[in-house]
Amino acid sequence: MNPPGETASDRADAIELTIERPAVGGRMIARREGRVVLVAGAIPGERVRAAVEGRRGGAMLARTLDVVRPSPDRRPVDVPASCGGRTLAHVAYPRQLALKSEIVRDAFRRIGRIDLPEAPAVAASPETGYRMRARLHAGDGGVGFLDEGSHRVCGAAGTGVLSAGAERVVAALNERAAELRAGGVRTVELAEDLAGHRCVLHLLVEGPVAAAGVRWEALAEEAGVSGLSVASMAFPGPPVAVRSPFVTDPLAAFLPSPQAEGLALRRHANAFFQANRHLVAGLTAAAAELAAGGEVVDLYAGVGLFAAGIAARGGTRVTAVERDRVSAADLAANGAPLEGDLHVIRAPVETYLKRCGRLSGAAVIVDPPRTGLSREAVTRLARRRPRRIVYVSCDVATQARDLRALRASGYRVGEVRAFDMFPNTPHVETVVALDRA
Instruction: Identify the CATH number of the domain in which residue 140 sits.
Output: 2.40.50.1070
Q: Is residue 81 part of a domain?
A: no
Which residues contact residue 72 at a Cβ distance below 8 angstroms, ignoring those fewer than 6 apart?
Answer: none
Residues 236 and 161 in one domain: yes
* Pairing label, strands 185-192, 133-139: antiparallel
Residue 20: pLDDT over 90:
yes
Residues counted in the chain: 437
Predicted pLDDT at 30: 96
Give the least confident one: 5-14, 168-177, 243-252: 5-14
Q: Is residue 48 part of a domain?
A: yes
Residue 301: pLDDT over 90:
yes
- Show which of 32, 48, 74 is a domain's final residue: 74
Q: pLDDT band at 35, cuts 50/70/90? A: very high
CB atoms near residue 233 (< 10 Å): 11
Q: pLDDT band at 243, cuts 50/70/90? A: confident
- Show which of 56, 74, 92 is a domain's final residue: 74
pLDDT tens digit sequence for 47-64: 999 999 998 888 999 999
The average pLDDT across 277-284 equals 98
The average pLDDT across 254-278 equals 96
Question: What percentage of the chain carries pLDDT values higher than 90?
Answer: 83
The average pLDDT across 213-221 equals 90
Residues 237 and 287 in one domain: no
Q: Is residue 62 part of a domain?
A: yes
Q: Is residue 253 part of a domain?
A: no
Which residues contact residue 57 at a Cβ distance below 8 angstroms, ignoring those fewer than 6 apart?
Answer: none
Residues 306 and 426 in one domain: yes
Instruction: Identify the CATH number of the domain in which residue 348 sits.
Output: 3.40.50.150
Query: Phi and psi at residue 37, in whole multiples of 5°?
Result: -120, 125
Residues 67 and 1 in one domain: yes
Residues 158 and 306 in one domain: no
Residue 259: pLDDT over 70:
yes
Q: pLDDT band at 211, cuts 50/70/90? A: confident
Residues 343 and 212 in one domain: no
- Which of the 8 DSSP states describes residue 177? H
- Which of the 8 DSSP states describes residue 234? S
Predicted pLDDT at 409: 95
Which of 146-160, 208-222, 242-256 reaches the highest mean pLDDT? 242-256
Q: Confirm if 151 and 159 have CB atoms less than 8 A apart.
A: no
Instruction: Identify the CATH number of the domain in which residue 42 sits.
Output: 2.40.50.140
CB atoms near residue 192 (< 10 Å): 26
Residue 136: pLDDT over 70:
yes
Q: Is residue 414 part of a domain?
A: yes
Question: Could you give the C-alpha distances from 190 to 148, 171, 289, in angstroms and in order?
Answer: 19, 13, 30
Average pLDDT over the chain reads 93
Q: Is residue 254 part of a domain?
A: no
Q: pLDDT band at 9, cuts 50/70/90? A: very low
Residue 8: pLDDT over 70:
no
Predicted pLDDT at 56: 86
Residues 429 and 329 in one domain: yes
Domain count, the chain: 3
- Show which of 55, 74, 93 is a domain's final residue: 74
Residues 336 and 414 in one domain: yes
Question: What percentage of the chain carries pLDDT values higher than 70?
Answer: 97
Q: Is residue 94 part of a domain?
A: no
Residues 403 and 284 in one domain: yes
SS3 293: coil
Residue 6: pLDDT over 90:
no
Q: Say if residue 365 is exposed, middle or buried (CB neighbours under 10 Å; 0-12, 13-18, 19+).
A: buried
Residues 208 and 143 in one domain: yes
Beta strands in 103-148 (DSSP E): 122-123, 133-139, 142-146
Predicted pLDDT at 65: 96
Predicted pLDDT at 213: 83
Q: Is residue 93 part of a domain?
A: no
pLDDT tens digit sequence for 353-391: 999 989 999 999 999 999 999 999 999 999 999 999 999
Query: Phi and psi at residue 401, in whole multiples of 5°?
Result: -60, -45
Residues 146 and 224 in one domain: yes
Residues 235 and 148 in one domain: yes
Residue 24: pLDDT over 50:
yes
Nearest to 424 by CA among 90, 1, 33, 88: 88
Domain, as residue range, for 383 = 279-436
Nearest to 173 by CA among 147, 211, 134: 134
Residue type, 374: S
Give the least confident one: 104-113, 208-217, 227-236: 208-217
Q: How far is it, in rounded angstroms, from Cα 171 to Cα 31?
A: 44
